[in-house]
Structures are given as structure tokens and as C-alpha cells.
């Protein structure tokens, strides 16, 4: 049996782009991933389609898997000869219990690597506009756990040293112990008017902050029911936030978007929405299943007058098959069309002029490449199925957990196929709460998408004449600025 290996990987604080290159490489080759609640589940999209995903998340009131069980599971999977990634929020060495997991592997003579990550005690303040050190405000910085293993969970710390010897202090998961923390810092010499900021879900678009002082922050947090996960930052350096607050000024900050997904490739739209400050939940997660090449279609490829591609993936697969079969592309006489702007762009990148299917003539011999579902719209067409897409059911419980913790306020529907998918696979199967349709702004990319939405009982709030990512971003950013003046 091939020797297994474990990678104990820091997933970073939440923003999916803050994963390290080495951490992402480990995810891409993993056969098993044991992941925590605070590791952004979008990172699992990069795992191989046959990777086993195991949730080890912990909530304040319950444990899905206790630490001893996680250690044992980690060891057993490596003993099976698997490449195992233990994906932990933030940095695994900062209150991540990586020492216990690494010890379990070492005691069993198993090979492992520890991959550092960006810890939330540094990243969350930076995303709130606060560096944790500064020559004028703070030359010393401490990370401190706000809980310990005692019965009451109140850590026994060197309060005198923290209060008088450290300029800036980051307490991890300290909301429930705020009165205890504030009282002890004041008691041991920290001025009562020392600034404090609470940062919840740091680096996500749903990031929330609450500012106060040691004397009043506990009361303020109680009044608004502020909860973990959060960093409590204490120190005069917090005053820099007024000048340096950059993340919360992004055009789409605060937007929590549910984006209907119809392909297996990474979504350029999702990436750009995140770059503009939004949180994006893509539904569903698809995986490809290969199918045998239809030789009858390949042999007749020169007779078709129009070829309609259902997805960017189908474009790539079509040309791969044509090349593998030894067919000169010049034998293909058909005009090319795409079911989406992404499909048209994929054809353009291959050097072909193409248009959307709305401009395709109904007469002539038509070949549809890709998804067999489209044959219902074109009964006279022949099908060339290059691969089959199936929903990856491993992600169903992940979506449910993400939707429970998020507060979706925007739904983006890129195509009529996306409407069908989100309703039939999400709403009707009770993976997506129906209430989201009533409480969210629904943006349809194009008239045909809007028509499909209405047929399914979904009322669009916005219909984009130009169905591209620039129009989506402009629409969402514009509406947010208008609301600011209401």
C-alpha cells in the first residue's frame, strides 16, 4: 500500500483568496479533507471531484466531532495510504490545536506537513482598517485566548503584564467573556477609556464591527446581541480605523449573493463579485462524468449548419474530441452559437465568431453540444453529449450550513437554465429556504432569464439588458449608493 501523508493546513480567516499557495496545492491533490466550521467552504471547490469531505466543525453549544475523534480519524485515513488535508480556519498553530493532531500523527510514525495560514487576529483588524502594530500607537502585540479548559471558561492570564506591558491585544472568541476581560484589564492598570473594537466574521462581506471602550464595550455588545466568531481588539491603535478603513468601502461590501451555477468551471462572475467586496454562495456544485464519444455525430460533423454550445465546458470538450479524432476543424462548416455569454466568449477565445442562441435561425441542421436538457427547446436538433454533469451531493449539507450562517440579500440568475436549477434543485428540494426569494433582490441577466424566472413564480427586481458581469456589478453597486440617500 502507498504511504499516506497528512497536510495540516491553515485556511486563513475567511476571504477565500487569503489561502496560501502551498495550502491550495495541498487541497488540489487531497483524497480526504477534514474541515472546520471557520474554514471557508468555497475552498472545497478546489478539491478533486472524488475527494472525501468530512465536517469536523465546532459550534459554541455543541461539537460535531470531538478532538480525540478528529485525531483518530486523521490517523486512520493516513494509515489507509490517503493524502489527507486537515483544513483549519486561520493559522493552525494559533489556537488551532495543531500540536495535538501533529502529535497523534507523529506517535503513529506517520508523515505530515504543517502549512501556516493567516490568523484572524491580524487579518480581521486589517480588514477593519487597523494594523496591529504602528510606530506611534503600538510596538507590541499579543494574541490571547478568551477561553480556557476550566469549568467557567475564564482564562487565568498574566493580567498585569497584558494591561501594562502590551500595547495592542487581540482576544480570540471573547464575546461571552467580555465583562471578565474588561474588568481584569482595568483592575490591573489599563485605562478604562482604552479603545476596543469587536470584529465579527472578519474578512467576509458580512463583517460587522462594534466600537467602544473597556468601560462600556460589554454593555454595548449585550445590547445588540453581538456574537462569535469575533476578534476583540484592545488598544489605542484602533484610532487608525478612521483613516485606513478600506474593505468596508468596496462597492459590494455587505452584499451576500446567492449565484446560480450551471457549469463545472470556476465562475468569472463569482470571482469579480468577490473582488468587489461581496460574499458569494454558488449553488449547486457540479461534477463531470465522462461519456463515450458518439462516433455517428463525429462522422457527420461537416453536414451541420448550426452548432449550439450549452456551456464553456462543452466548447473545450468539443474541440478536444475533434482533435483527438483527427478531424481538421476546417471540415466544420456550421455557424457557432452559445447558450450564454460565457459560451460565446469561450468560442471567441478559440478564434471563432459566435452569437447567442437568440440570434440562431430555426431552420437548418442543428447540433447541440453539451447538455441533453437543451434538446427539449430544440426538438429538431441532434445531440452530441460530450460529458454529463451531475450535482455533487457531498456539498448539499455544506450549502445548508452556509445558508444558515449567512444572510443572503441578493440572488443573481445568469440564464434560464440557472433559474430551472435553483428552483428545482434548491427550493423544491428544501436545500434553499423559499423565504430567500421574498427577502432578496433578484437580478436576472437578460430578458429570457427573466421570462423563465416568472414562469417559475420568481419575480425579478432587476432585468439586465446587457447580460455580463460588468452590468451585474454596476447594477448592484448603483442600487446600494441610491439606498444610501433614501
Quick check: 310 and 369 in contact, CB under 8 A? yes
Secondary structure letter of residue 334 according to DSSP: P
Cβ neighbors of 312 (< 8 A, separation 6 or more) are 263, 265, 340, 342, 343, 345, 346
**For residue 459, what pLDDT is reported?**
94
Q: Give the distance between the most distant pair of CA atoms in the chain.
A: 86
Q: Is the pLDDT of residue 345 over 50?
A: yes
**For residue 483, what pLDDT is reported?**
39
**For residue 262, what pLDDT is reported?**
86
* CB burial of residue 427 (10 Å; 0-12, 13-18, 19+): middle
* CB burial of residue 193 (10 Å; 0-12, 13-18, 19+): exposed
Q: Is the pLDDT of residue 481 over 90?
A: no
Decide which of 3.40.50.2000, 1.20.1560.10, 3.40.50.10090, 3.90.1150.10 is the CATH code for 288-390: 3.40.50.10090
Query: What are 358-385's pLDDT values in tens digits?
Result: 899 888 899 999 876 666 677 889 999 9
Question: What share of the chain has pLDDT > 90, as a percent?
Answer: 79
Cβ neighbors of 136 (< 8 A, separation 6 or more) are none
* CATH class, 5-118 region: alpha beta
Query: What are 375-429's pLDDT values in tens digits?
Result: 667 788 999 998 888 999 999 999 999 999 999 999 999 998 899 999 999 999 9
Give the active site residues.
Answer: 36, 58, 173
**For residue 309, what pLDDT is reported?**
94
**For residue 480, what pLDDT is reported?**
47
Higher pLDDT, 263 or 408: 408
Decide which of 1.10.8.50, 3.40.50.720, 3.40.50.10090, 3.40.50.300 is the CATH code for 256-285+392-484: 3.40.50.10090
**For residue 485, what pLDDT is reported?**
28
CATH homologous superfamily for 122-249? Tetrapyrrole methylase, C-terminal domain (3.30.950.10)
**For residue 61, what pLDDT is reported?**
54
Taking the C-alpha atoms of residue 265 and residue 73, their distance in angstroms, rounded to an integer, is 31
Taking the C-alpha atoms of residue 46 and residue 160, their distance in angstroms, rounded to an integer, is 46
* C-alpha distances in Å from residue 432, one per residue of 31, 263, 423: 28, 19, 9
Which band of pLDDT confidence, cut at 50, 70 and 90, is reported for residue 478? confident
For the ranges 44-58, 138-152, 189-203, which has the lowest average pLDDT?
138-152
**For residue 3, what pLDDT is reported?**
80
Quick check: 276 and 252 in contact, CB under 8 A? yes
C-alpha gyration radius of the chain = 26
**For residue 484, what pLDDT is reported?**
35
**For residue 374, what pLDDT is reported?**
66
Query: What are 10-33's pLDDT values in tens digits?
Result: 999 999 999 999 999 999 999 999
Secondary structure letter of residue 333 according to DSSP: -
* C-alpha distances in Å from residue 311, one per residue of 71, 135, 209, 259, 447: 42, 54, 41, 16, 19
Quick check: 211 and 195 in contact, CB under 8 A? yes
Higher pLDDT, 265 or 113: 113
Stretch(es) of the chain classified as CATH 3.40.50.10090: 256-285+392-484, 288-390
**For residue 231, what pLDDT is reported?**
97
Taking the C-alpha atoms of residue 75 and residue 63, their distance in angstroms, rounded to an integer, is 20
Query: What are 37-59's pLDDT values in tens digits?
Result: 999 999 999 999 999 999 997 65
Higher pLDDT, 294 or 342: 294
Q: Is the pLDDT of residue 265 over 50?
A: yes
**For residue 57, what pLDDT is reported?**
78
Average of pLDDT values for 326-347? 92
Stretch(es) of the chain classified as CATH 3.40.1010.10: 5-118
**For residue 150, what pLDDT is reported?**
63
For the ranges 55-69, 365-379, 428-442, which has the lowest average pLDDT?
55-69
**For residue 174, what pLDDT is reported?**
86
Query: What are 302-331's pLDDT values in tens digits?
Result: 999 999 998 888 999 999 999 999 999 999
Taking the C-alpha atoms of residue 335 and residue 275, their distance in angstroms, rounded to an integer, is 35
Neighbouring C-beta atoms of residue 104, cutoff 10 Å = 21
Average of pLDDT values for 128-148? 91
Amino acid at each position: 500500500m502507498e504511504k499516506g501523508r497528512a497536510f495540516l493546513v491553515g485556511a486563513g480567516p475567511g476571504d477565500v483568496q487569503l489561502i496560501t499557495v502551498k495550502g491550495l496545492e495541498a487541497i488540489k491533490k487531497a483524497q480526504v479533507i477534514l474541515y472546520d466550521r471557520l474554514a471557508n467552504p468555497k475552498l472545497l471547490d478546489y478539491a478533486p471531484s472524488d475527494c472525501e469531505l468530512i465536517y469536523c466543525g465546532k459550534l459554541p453549544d455543541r461539537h460535531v466531532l470531538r478532538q480525540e475523534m478528529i485525531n483518530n480519524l486523521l490517523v486512520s485515513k493516513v494509515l489507509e495510504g490517503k493524502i489527507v488535508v486537515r483544513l483549519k480556519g486561520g493559522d493552525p498553530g494559533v489556537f488551532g490545536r495543531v500540536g495535538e493532531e501533529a502529535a497523534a500523527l507523529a506517535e503513529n510514525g506517520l508523515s505530515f506537513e504543517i502549512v501556516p495560514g493567516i490568523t484572524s487576529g491580524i487579518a480581521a483588524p486589517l480588514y477593519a482598517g487597523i494594523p496591529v502594530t504602528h510606530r506611534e500607537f503600538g510596538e507590541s502585540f499579543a494574541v490571547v485566548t478568551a477561553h480556557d479548559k476550566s469549568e467557567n471558561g475564564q482564562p487565568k492570564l498574566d493580567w498585569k503584564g497584558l494591561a501594562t506591558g502590551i500595547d495592542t491585544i487581540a482576544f480570540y472568541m471573547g464575546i461571552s467573556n467580555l465583562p471578565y476581560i474588561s474588568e481584569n484589564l482595568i483592575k490591573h492598570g489599563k485605562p478604562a477609556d482604552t479603545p476596543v473594537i469587536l470584529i465579527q466574521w472578519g474578512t467576509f462581506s458580512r463583517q460587522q464591527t462594534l466600537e467602544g471602550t473597556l468601560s462600556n464595550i460589554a454593555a454595548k455588545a449585550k445590547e445588540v446581541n453581538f456574537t462569535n466568531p469575533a476578534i476583540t481588539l484592545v488598544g489605542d491603535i484602533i484610532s487608525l480605523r478612521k483613516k485606513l478603513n478600506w474593505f468596508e468601502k468596496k462597492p459590494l461590501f455587505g452584499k451576500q449573493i446567492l449565484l446560480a451555477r450551471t457549469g463545472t468551471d470556476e465562475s468569472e462572475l463569482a470571482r469579480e463579485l468577490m473582488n468587489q467586496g461581496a460574499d458569494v454562495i454558488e449553488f449547486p456544485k457540479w461534477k463531470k462524468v465522462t461519456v463515450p464519444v458518439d462516433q455517428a455525430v463525429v462522422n457527420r460533423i461537416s453536414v451541420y449548419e448550426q452548432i449550439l454550445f450549452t456551456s464553456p465546458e462543452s466548447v473545450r470538450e468539443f474541440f478536444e474530441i475533434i482533435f483527438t479524432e483527427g478531424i481538421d476543424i476546417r471540415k466544420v462548416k456550421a455557424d457557432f452559437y452559445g447558450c450564454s455569454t460565457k459560451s460565446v466568449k469561450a468560442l471567441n477565445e478559440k478564434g471563432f465568431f459566435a452569437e447567442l442562441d437568440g440570434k440562431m435561425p430555426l431552420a437548418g441542421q442543428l447540433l447541440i453540444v453539451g447538455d441533453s436538457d437543451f434538446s427539449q427547446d430544440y426538438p429538431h436538433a441532434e445531440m452530441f453529449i460530450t460529458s454529463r454533469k451531475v450535482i455533487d451531493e457531498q456539498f448539499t449539507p455544506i450549502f445548508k450550513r452556509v445558508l444558515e450562517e449567512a444572510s443572503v440579500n441578493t440572488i443573481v440568475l445568469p440564464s434560464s437554465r440557472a433559474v430551472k436549477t435553483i428552483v428545482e434543485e434548491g427550493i423544491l428540494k428544501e436545500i434553499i429556504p423559499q423565504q430567500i426569494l421574498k427577502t432578496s433582490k433578484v437580478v436576472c441577466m437578460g430578458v429570457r432569464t427573466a421570462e423563465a424566472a416568472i414562469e417559475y413564480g420568481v419575480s425579478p427586481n432587476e432585468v439586465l439588458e446587457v447580460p455580463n458581469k460588468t452590468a451585474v456589478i454596476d447594477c448592484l453597486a448603483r442600487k446600494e449608493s441610491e439606498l444610501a440617500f433614501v
